[in-house]
Every structure is written in structure tokens, then in C-alpha cells.
């Protein structure tokens, strides 16, 4: 098969026919196209849009540190050490 760049892949007739491109909003990049699964299940609605794009690297770190039981002071120590 053909070897495409990302933008060429989104324009491929088969990708268009299967409706594999879904849109999402990214906080930094703005509106972007994402490739959804080509598999369609009869009892599930087809995804044409995502409610959000992937989070930024480390966006959920504070919540995870809290879930791990780290105090604000412990988190600050780790930040000062450059560990997180």
C-alpha cells in the first residue's frame, strides 16, 4: 500500500469512506483530527468527535500525587529535588 504523511493519510479515500477521522480540541494545538478505530460495532454509536484530546504531559500529576498519599510538603520537596 501507499506510504503517506499524516495529512495525506487523513485525505485517503478509504479513510474518508470509513469515517475514521474524528475531531477533538487540544489546549495547545487547537482543533485537531484524530484517527478513530475502523471497527464499527452494531450495538455502539460511531464516534465522530472526541470530547477532548490527550492531556498535556503531567497534567494529572497533582491528583496522582494526592492519591498516592503525598502531602503538599512532600510534593514540594520532590519538586525542589527535580524528581517530579
* Together in a domain, 83 and 43: no
Same domain, 29 and 49: yes
What is the C-alpha to C-alpha distance for residues 15 and 37, in angstroms, rounded to an integer? 11
Residue range 52-79, pLDDT digits in tens? 777 888 889 999 999 999 999 999 999 9
pTM of the model: 0.47
Cell (9 digits) for 59 = 497534567
- Considering the domain architecture, whether residues 47 and 78 belong to the same structural domain is answered as no
Residues 47, 13 share a domain:
yes
Residue 13 has pLDDT above 70, yes or no: yes
- Segment 25-31 shows an average pLDDT of 85
Please state, in angstroms and as integers, the Cα–Cα distance from residue 8 to each residue in 1, 4, 17, following that order. 13, 5, 14
Residue 81 has pLDDT above 90, yes or no: yes
User: In this structure, are 44 and 65 located in the same domain?
Assistant: no
Query: Which residues span the domain enclosing 24?
Result: 1-53
Q: State whether 65 and 45 are in the same domain.
A: no
Per-residue pLDDT, 61:
94
Indicate if the pLDDT at residue 32 is higher than 80. yes
* 73 and 33 fall within a common domain: no
Mean pLDDT in residue range 2-13:
88
- Count of domains for the chain: 2
Amino acid at each position: 500500500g501507499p506510504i503517506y504523511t499524516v495529512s495525506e493519510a487523513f485525505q485517503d479515500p478509504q479513510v474518508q469512506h470509513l469515517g475514521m477521522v474524528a475531531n477533538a480540541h487540544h489546549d495547545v494545538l487547537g482543533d485537531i483530527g484524530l484517527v478513530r478505530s475502523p471497527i464499527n460495532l452494531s450495538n455502539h454509536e460511531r464516534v465522530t468527535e472526541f470530547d477532548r484530546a490527550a492531556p498535556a504531559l503531567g497534567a494529572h500529576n497533582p491528583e496522582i500525587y494526592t492519591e498516592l498519599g503525598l502531602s503538599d510538603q512532600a510534593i514540594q520537596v520532590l519538586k525542589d529535588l527535580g524528581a517530579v
